[in-house]
Amino acid sequence: MRGNKSMNIGSKRGAIIINALLLAITIAIFIFPFFWILSNSLKTYDETMQFPPQLLPKTPIFANYKAALDSMPFLLYLKNSIVVVALTLICQFLVIVPAAFAFSLYSFRGKGLLLTLVLFGFMLPQQLTFVPIYLLFGKLKLLNSYSPLVLPFAASSFGIFLLRQYFMGIPTEIIEAGYLDGMNNRQIMMYIMMPMAKSALFSIALVSFITRWNDYFWPLVMTNTQKVRTLPIGIAALRITDGKTEWNVLMAANMLLIVPILAAFSVAHRQIKEALIHSGIK
Amino acid sequence: MVERIGEKRKHKAQGSGIKNYNPLSPYLMLLPATCGLALFVVYPLVYLFRASFTNRSLLKPTAKFVGLENYIELFHSVEFLSVIKNSILYAFLFVSFSIIFALLFAVWLNRPGRIWSFAQSAIFIPYIVSFVTISLVWLWLMDPQVGLLNTLLGAFGVSYPWLSDTKSVIPSLVLVSVWKYVGYYMLLLIAALQNIPRDIYEAVKIDGARARTVFFRITLPLITPSLFFILVVSTTEALRIFDPINIMTQGGPINASSVFVYFIYEYAFKYFRIGYASAAGVILFLIIGVLVGIYFNMLGKRVHYQ
């Protein structure tokens, strides 16, 4: 072994080069489709149909973004997306904070059963229950309102679990001191627990924003008028199944869907990663 | 999951700290959450089971009990049998490739330094981007004529039918989904790797163990809980896949990519057969339930606690 020192260094350098090459290829595979969306959103229609395809447009044009805005009630869909995200965050907040508070501080009959129910809600995919929920909202005459897009997400199991864990980490002495000072439950929650669980609340809000903003399935099955449809539905509908799809316009529309997510990621990438890791391992 | 159980025990003494309180207050606080779960978790599931034994339709106000008729019809339907086959093939490929690549990426990229964390972020980003965007861009990349992938392959004188052939459509969809989800599973594994105490590695280094031995004897056993967790979430993820099917293939060509949720969606909303669609939903529920049950059983036996 010791005699081959020079060969060892050579093969080490080789390994480093191979490693760097593999790394570059891997990064390219994951970044390229996003580059392709951006590049094509700046091309003319003829350029997108050119064979062989060119990586970059000859001169970047921004007309596709205008066309994307005009090709659907974009501002309406955008408004609906924002309203759905905002209402979901508010409802979740109102539901999960007291639930996590009760789970973390009290012992009461039926606690285990209720916790199991929350866990079950966490495991059960909504793709299994959408038909009954659709019929339920139909019966209540609430289809084509914001309710079916918001209410089923209010009792977020992930939110309850994460918040409960934060609350349990708060020393009981602090809470009891609060009670001794004559605070009631609502005040304890507002002035002691919430400020200490700020980062958990932020994590939950981030995860909810990402999943609601991106969601395609739920608004697709729960709505059938433009009035409450969200951006992903509008954008998916821009692709014409039979006929010529204007890929440049479609890619511009998709840029508008990606940018808020990427903006959030660039500002809070650590929190987003951590929140999503927690949404798995709790 | 396992870590949670441990943590629960640790906190139990703290958790019941409050003494004098109105016995009703915890129930009042849990009322909104319980209502939500009752309405959107328990009720739909009960409804699904009950409707699966009826001929309920979106077009008629009443429904008749039909026993097992829907189930019998499902298992005699060529379409549904191919849905089961497609779903299982898709799930098997998705879960296997996701876990293999997530593990490879995690072990490879788990090091300090900017370039490595940049690579982690690059792999992770597709996970937080809408499946709508991802389906659309890959649909175009995979276009058999003008798509970039076949242009690249054309340089080597080959081509691949991607989504246009019954044999290649599922592997193509698996490719797109693994591309989207692998970054998330990688991140979970990196978190698990970073939880392994450094001193364990230092101890074996002194013992002169080889890298491969260290990986299989130390690293792998210690991240088994996370691997099992990923097995559970990726299986569920695979069996509830819908977005790319609806956007990229509409179940085609000739039903070759029709999967459970797409089938349920079509029968409920295009043919209005709620009873029949519910029976398919019950079967999917049972498949997920059985698989998760098996995994937890394995987890109980195999996990190495620290």
Residue ranges per domain, chain A?
A: 2-64, 72-237
Flag whether pLDDT at B163 surpasses 70.
Answer: yes
The neighbouring-strand residues paired with B65 are: B54
Q: What is the dihedral of CA B198, B200, B204, B206, to 10 degrees?
A: 60
Q: Which CATH number fits domain B65-302: 1.10.3720.10, 3.50.50.60, 3.40.50.300, 1.20.210.10?
A: 1.10.3720.10
Nearest to A257 among B29, B115, B130 (CB): B130
Q: What is the pLDDT of residues A80-94, one digit of tens each?
A: 999 999 999 999 999
Residue A103 at interface with chain B, using a CB cutoff of 8 Å:
yes
Instruction: Compute the half-sphere exposure of residue B266: CA atoms within 13 Å on the CB side of its CA.
Output: 16
Interatomic CA distance for residues B195 and B189, integer angstroms: 10
Distance CA B211, CA A88 (A): 48
Is the preceding omega at residue B225 within 30 degrees of 0, hence cis? Answer: no
Once rounded to an integer, what is the mean pLDDT over residues B106-119? 93
Pull the structure tokens for residue A114: 């209720």
Please state the rounded mean pLDDT for residues B111-131. Answer: 94
How far is Cα A10 from Cα A4, in angstroms, rounded to an integer? 10
CA B224 – CA B2 distance, rounded (Å): 10
pLDDT in tens, B240-260: 999 999 999 999 899 999 999
Instruction: For residue A155, give the nearest of B29, B33, B285 by CB distance.
Output: B33
What are the residues facing B54 on neighbouring strands? B65
Residue A265 or residue A54, greater confidence: A265
Residue B222 identity (one-letter amino acid): L
Rounded to two decimals, the ipTM of the complex is 0.91
pLDDT of residue B5: 40
Per the CB < 8 Å rule, is B242 touching A127?
A: yes
Residue B146 CB-density burial (10 A; 0-12 exposed, 13-18 middle, 19+ buried): middle
For chain A, positions 53-82, list CB contacts with chain B under 8 A.
53
A37 interaction partners in chain B (CB closer than 8 Å): 133, 137
Alpha-carbon dihedral of residues A41, A42, A45, A47, nearest 10 degrees? -120
Can you spell out the DSSP letters for B134-195? HHHHHHHHT-TTT-HHHHHHHTTT----GGGSTTTHHHHHHHHHHHHHHHHHHHHHHHHHHT
Q: Name the residue type at position A178.
A: G
Is the bond preceding A52 in cis, omega lying within 30 degrees of 0?
yes
pLDDT tens, A146-201? 999 999 999 999 999 999 988 888 888 888 888 888 888 788 888 888 888 888 89
Query: Which residues 6+ apart lie within 8 Å of B200 measured at CB?
Result: B218, B222
Q: Which of A254, A281, A282 to mutate to test the interface with B (most CBs of B within 10 A)?
A: A281
Residues on chain A touching B274 (C-beta within 8 angstroms) = 131, 135
Determine, for residues A106 and B21 on separate chains, whether the beta-carbon distance falls below 8 Å: yes
3-state helix vs strand vs coil in chain A, percent to 5:
75, 0, 25
Domain ranges (residues) in chain B: 65-302
| Neighboring chain B residues of A151 at a CB cutoff of 8 Å | 36, 39-40
The second-level CATH assignment, the architecture, of A72-237 is: Orthogonal Bundle (1.10)
pLDDT at B208: 78
Mean predicted lDDT score pLDDT of chain A: 89
The tokens describing A252, both together, are 């511009």
Amino acid letter, residue B281: G
Alpha helices in A42-129 (DSSP H): 45-49, 63-70, 74-105, 111-123
- From chain B, the residues in CB contact with A134 under 8 A are 268
| B46-83 tens-digit pLDDT | 999 999 999 999 888 888 899 999 999 999 999 999 99
Tokens 């709505």 belong to A223
How many angstroms away from the CA of B91 is the closest CA of chain A? 15
- Cβ–Cβ below 8 Å for A133 and B119: no
What is the band of A2 on the pLDDT scale with cuts at 50, 70, 90? Answer: very low
Residues of chain B contacting A136 with CB distance shorter than 8 Å: 39, 43-44, 47
Q: Taking CB atoms and an 8 Å limit, are B118 and A239 in contact across chains?
A: no
Nearest residue, CB atoms, A49 vs list B44, B130, B146: B146
pLDDT for A222-280, tens place per residue? 998 889 999 999 999 888 766 678 889 999 999 999 999 999 999 888 888 888 887 75
Rounded Cα distance between B35 and B31, Å, is 6
| Predicted pLDDT at A244 | 78
